[in-house]
A and B are shown apart, each in its own frame.
Chain A
Amino acid sequence: MTSKRQVAMVIDLNKCIGCQTCTIACKTQWTNREGMEGMWWNTVATAPGEGTPKGWEKMGGGFRKGKAQPGKLPKQGEFGTAWNFNTDAALFQGDTHNTLGPITGDPDWGTNWDEDVGGGEYPNSFQFYIPRICNHCTKPACMEACPRGAIFKREEDGIVVINEDHCRGFRFCQEACPYKEIYYNTVSGVSQKCIMCAPRLEEGVPTACSRQCPGRVRFLGFLDDEDGPIHKLVYQYKVALALHPEYETEPNVFYIPPLAPPSFDDEGNPIDEDRIPLDYLESLFGKEVGPAVELLKAEKAKKKAGSDSDLMDTLIARNWMDMFGPFTTNPKDVARTLEQRVQNRQG
């Protein structure tokens, strides 16, 4: 089934500070139930790095020339399991020598485990953050891999969801998703993933990760809304690019590629060489990233010189609500109407 419309997101990597507010907004909203302890439907990892699950970019899946590609089944340890902390002993018992740390096993991986690693050699080291959610692909490899037909793409907004009543926990979807954005719940025996905050969007409220972002990093809206920022950034300026387009799933989460300060030569003088190697960016976003970076640099220079730049103004997002297309409702107002609805029903 082809969706009539597609909800999409643009994530500006130049503004993400890796604060993980989106991660926690998602966690407290959606993955705080039993069996979901180790799930992070939203992650923010450090690039370059192994990411979550560890080494996901080498796990296969997706399509090549239209043909499904085998993928590896990620293990829970590769995502990182949930840890319990000695909070009481470390913080409330007055023992200043007892430091805060995990008390369940000796964890060796977790989301953003690569923090502070990065790439390059000093003084030309570099790193940036890369937030990820389910890409709600136009051609979802997970959906095509499910022998149960338990995964579908919503006609009204293109959100990809798993019907847990039909899912039998076979996990072909986990293997086939090249972004490894699907988790397995060992308690309920079903696969689970980001639902693009569908119940919020239905009420006109932006996704939790978008609305809670203190950096105004995430744009949200319909891909075909010519008046919205998504259409402008993806189609008009072509500066918002899909992550790993080579998997041919046609993601609907797009990224503004990161700029970085210039490199330094041996004498410590800035030189006209990108700090983040173009070939690394191309390995993430494909060949279109070169022209996108050039346009971003040119528009940034224009703005810096005092001229107008519609592209920079869009990315700066002075008017917060302009970022969310039709999804501008305050969740507080919806909570109130939901309360009223429940009261009305109870008569």
Chain B
Amino acid sequence: MRVQNVRSIADYAEPQSPGWGTVGSTDVEMVPAPLGLQPNEYVQVSWEERPYGLLEQASLRAVHDGAKIAVHLSWADAQPSTGAGEGFPDGAALAFPVRGEPELMLMGSPDAPMQFVQWQASKKEARSVLAKGIGSSRPGEPVDETAKASWSGGLWTVVFTRSLAGSGESASLVPGSTSQIGIAVWNGSNEERAGIKAVSPDWTALSLDP
């Protein structure tokens, strides 16, 4: 997927920012995160007869301005869940490889970690998370991450922004080169949380314009 270089991502900071109208979108296939890869027997047995991760595709757009990247992610969700009270929130995350070639489905490994930026409908702020394998996620290094979301007409749209530069254990994106992105989506009204989610089965290439 091409990531255009734009004047300023401030013009793309909101889901409804007019700039997005001229940016081409890419549909990404989504599948349920495999039951066999859930981190423990309890999660496996409690979901083996419950459908989850039924989202079939998500739509992705992205631009950068040399300093930051903005990613516009949208997906269908008939019943939004803000996670108020004891409910579970809807959520989404964008994954980036930190180094090596992390397996997206395996949430990376100690040698090939991945970093993601996560949004939850219950929280105002986005979070940076570092993962070195399933069940290992811990707070990640900040990358000036933000997320702005809106739900309308059965569709969630979330605009994530983050700095292109990373350091140490956070992923770097370099203009003029190709990086990769992965997607996870949680449907809160179906009590989806942790590894119970829809995921893109493989990385999508991000070709950043110089």
Contact = CB atoms under 8 A, between A and B. Distances in A.
A147 B86 contact: no
B45 A147 contact: no
A184 B40 contact: no
Interface string B135-152: 100000000000000000
Contact of B135 (A67, A144, A148): A148
B46 A147 contact: no
Which of B41, B42, B86, B195: most chain A Cβ within 10 A?
Answer: B42
Nearest to B123: A189
Contacts of A186: 85-86
A144 B194 contact: no
Interface residues on B, range: 10 to 19
A75 B45 CA distance: 21
Which of A76, A141, A145: most chain B Cβ within 10 A?
Answer: A145
A68 interface: yes
Given A76-B86, A172-B46, A147 B41 contact: no
Given A73-B191, A170-B193, A172-B194, A145 B86 contact: no
A145 B40 contact: yes
A142 to B, nearest CB: 9
Contact of B194 (A68, A168, A175): A168
B39 interface: yes
Nearest to A149: B135
A243 interface: no
A184 B43 CA distance: 18
A314 interface: no
A73 B46 CA distance: 11
B41 A68 contact: yes
Interface of A: 67-71, 73, 75-76, 141, 144-149, 168, 170-172, 175-176, 184, 186, 189
Q: Which 7 A-B pairs have the closest CB atoms?
A: A145-B42, A70-B46, A68-B42, A147-B39, A68-B41, A147-B194, A170-B193
